Amino acid sequence: MARTKIYIVNVIEWTDEDEESVDSILVSKMEEEGRKMLKSIIIRDKTSQYERIVKHGDPGTKIAEIAQKLNVEMIVMGSKGLGNTEKEIGHVSAKVLRLTLKPVILLGRT
């Protein structure tokens, strides 16, 4: 039986893609915090392989790019982030839906 590969992704929002404006120490600290956050996610299915990925940039764009590059079968993500939006779908989820042809499963939160 083939093992399922799961990619757990955290994209730290960084709107300025200009390499000269990137503070490498700050980025390093943000990526370390992102790795700590991803380590808190528990994978119960021990038959699956998984990899944690931390990137910085525009979250919707990066998620779609990573999904395409890794040729994933589907994307599973929250319908909205941690903000207090009244919308049914957050801006990152909406952008991922626009940018990818991969199936996307949106999980709601209560």
Asked if 56 and 30 touch (Cβ cutoff 8 Å), the reply is yes
Cβ neighbours of residue 59 closer than 8 Å, sequence gap 6 or more:
11, 13, 92, 95
CATH of the domain at 39: 3.40.50.620
pLDDT in tens, the chain (110 residues): 566 788 888 887 776 655 555 667 666 776 777 667 666 666 666 666 888 888 888 999 999 999 999 999 999 998 887 666 677 888 899 999 999 999 999 988 65
Alpha-carbon dihedral of residues 17, 22, 28, 29, nearest 10 degrees? -100
The gap between the terminal CA atoms of the chain, to the nearest Å, is: 35
Domain span at residue 25 reads 5-107
What is the model's pLDDT at position 66? 96
Number of domains in the chain: 1
Backbone torsion region of residue 71, taken as left when φ is above 0, otherwise alpha when ψ lies between -120 and 50, otherwise beta: left
